[in-house]
Amino acid sequence: MALETWLIKVKKSIAHSLDSVRASAPRAKPAVIKKSSVGVLAFEISGLMSKLLHLWQFLSDKNMIRIRNESICLEGVRKIVSNDDAFLLGLACAEIVENLRLLAKSLSRISKRCEDSHLRNFDRYFSEFANTGRDPYNWVLSLKDMDSKIKKMDQYVTATALLHRQMDELSVLENSLKKASNSHFKDSDISSIKEQKIIELRQKFLWQKQEVKYLKERSLWCRSFDTVTSLLARSIFTTLAKIKLVFGINHGYPNSLPRSLSASATVYPSENHNTCNFVSGPLVKPPVFNEFFESNTKMLKPPSSTLGAAALALHYANLIIVMEKMIRSPQLVGVDARDDLYSMLPNSIRSSLRSRLKGVGFSASDPVLAGEWKDALQKILGWLSPLAHNMIKWQSERSFEQQNIIPKTNVLLLQALYFANQDKTEAAITELLVGLNYIWRFEREMNAKALFECTNFNNFLTLKRSSN
């Protein structure tokens, strides 16, 4: 009985000790779920930020005034594109909106990786905001806050670009280290030099590795998908709000974006299409609420009468630039170059050129007429050549190889040959060809005449010396 009592006491003591241990033991902290970082996608996201920064800068007061007072007033634009201010400004607005839409489309794909359900549905909220102006989560920033976000994105872009370069350098060092480590030399002196080189390379590699680690923490690499998507989403919302404000699209932009732009920076068309002075009034008829992006996309579709619709804009731009070089130095143009130029001509221009050259004689010896042709060609090139060069610039910045590079110019399609009237452009090109044909033959005849006179003079001197 005494033994049983003692065992019961021991059992109770052990149980009490275990309870006290459980009570005093620290409770395990709940695991902290770390949001996944963007990692290698940092370079793609940096490209999106760069393009958004360029687009925001494009909407600056200074650039909007330039579009209003210069771009749509170019002589070439007025001659072969349009002299309708509202139409031209509508094209400018549509192209800017389309560029923003493409950025938003890229961000939409990245936003699907976010944990925040609102950010995952960015594309739906952005489309709704574009159509109706509704901003339920107040993503549109004030201009002051937007300036702060712009600086932050610029820092991210700079740090990420530096990270890319340093990672490339790290890869080069790693390959050099592997190559040095795998090489074998029997000579002891060479072997010791090799060991010293390996030590130096390893040290450089470790330093470079630390530098890459530091830059990853500073750049977009270690940012979460939620962080970068939120930053870009709010900036894209704000950019669209500013586009609507600048171009006078009055439906839907929220009140949280201050209308602090000067009156001279907002873009409105004139009632008089022959001048470049502007008065207040809507840019274009506001699109139906559920067709904002669709209406802009349709506006960028070139009419059937244009070079863009005929897929000839880039070809004609190259043709005009070739003729520009020939007109500048006709004496240097050989027969082969002339034939190459003719082979570039489409059938429509060849036909009009043949009809223009009918009845033209083979002689081109009139210096007065040659001078008049040169002046006429310079005048035509004065307004046609800028559109051709703009077409080349616009296309080169959108080629596959250049898509991840920040645009270096602010060229819009309205300043190029894309919306140029095909008949008017071909008439101008035909005129250039007729004039080039004359001054080319004139230069050849003058050269042949000079060479003939020089030969006769030399023969005269030879005969005179022999007679003496």
From CA 215, how far away is CA 157, in angstroms rounded? 12
From CA 56, how far away is CA 257, in angstroms rounded? 14
Which of 172, 171, 38, 48 lies closest to 104 in space, CA to CA?
A: 48
pLDDT for position 444: 77
229 and 363 housed in the same domain: no
**H helices present in 121-224, as ranges:** 122-132, 143-182, 188-218
pLDDT for position 333: 82
The residue type of 96 is: I
Which of 298, 297, 411 lies closest to 67 in space, CA to CA?
A: 411
Q: Output the furthest CA–CA distance in the chain (Å, rounded).
A: 164
Give a yes or no: residue 183 inside a domain: no
Domain total for the chain? 2
pLDDT for position 181: 77
Q: pLDDT averaged over consecutive 10-residue blocks of the chain (468 residues)?
A: 52 54 46 69 95 94 91 95 94 94 94 94 94 92 94 96 94 86 61 77 91 94 96 96 88 44 43 34 41 89 95 96 92 85 93 83 72 93 96 85 62 95 96 90 72 55 59
Query: What tokens were used for 348?
Result: 């429509």
pLDDT for position 283: 36
The residue type of 275 is: T
Give a yes or no: residue 2 inside a domain: no
- Decide: pTM greater than 0.95: no
Last residue of one domain, picked from the residues 214, 247, 280? 247
Q: What does each C-alpha distance from 51 to 85, 223, 247, 336 come to in angstroms?
A: 27, 19, 20, 44
From CA 318, how far away is CA 434, in angstroms rounded? 18
Give a yes or no: residue 327 inside a domain: yes
236 and 317 housed in the same domain: no
Which of 385, 355, 387, 364 lies closest to 436 in space, CA to CA?
A: 364
Which of 19, 73, 157, 17 lies closest to 383 in space, CA to CA?
A: 73
From CA 209, how far away is CA 174, in angstroms rounded? 10
pLDDT for position 400: 56
Q: What does each C-alpha distance from 265 to 148, 242, 250, 453 come to in angstroms?
A: 22, 12, 16, 64
Give a yes or no: residue 273 inside a domain: no
What residues have CB less than 8 Å from 112, skipping those under 6 apart? 120
Supply the angle between the helices 42-58 and 85-111 in degrees, to the nearest 10: 160
The residue type of 224 is: S
Question: Is the separation of the CB atoms in 374 and 439 below 8 Å?
Answer: yes
From CA 253, how far away is CA 238, in angstroms rounded? 9
228 and 367 housed in the same domain: no
pLDDT for position 153: 97
385 and 236 housed in the same domain: no
Question: Is the separation of the CB atoms in 77 and 184 below 8 Å?
Answer: no
From CA 386, how far away is CA 366, in angstroms rounded? 30
236 and 349 housed in the same domain: no
374 and 243 housed in the same domain: no
231 and 326 housed in the same domain: no
pLDDT for position 404: 55
From CA 94, how far away is CA 267, in angstroms rounded? 13
Give a yes or no: residue 356 inside a domain: yes
Environment class of 273 (CB within 10 Å of its CB; exposed 0-12, middle 13-18, buried 19+): middle
pLDDT for position 366: 79
242 and 317 housed in the same domain: no
229 and 329 housed in the same domain: no
Query: What tokens were used for 330?
Result: 């006709």
90 and 232 housed in the same domain: yes
Rg (CA), the chain: 36
Give a yes or no: residue 228 inside a domain: yes
The boundaries of the domain holding residue 349 are 312-457
Give a yes or no: residue 441 inside a domain: yes
Give a yes or no: residue 258 inside a domain: no
Query: What tokens were used for 349?
Result: 């221009």
From start to end of 327-454, where are the E strands?
none
Q: What is the DSSP letter of 332?
A: G
From CA 156, how far away is CA 148, in angstroms rounded? 13
Write down the residue that tokens 């209406």 correspond to: 295
pLDDT for position 464: 57
113 and 236 housed in the same domain: yes
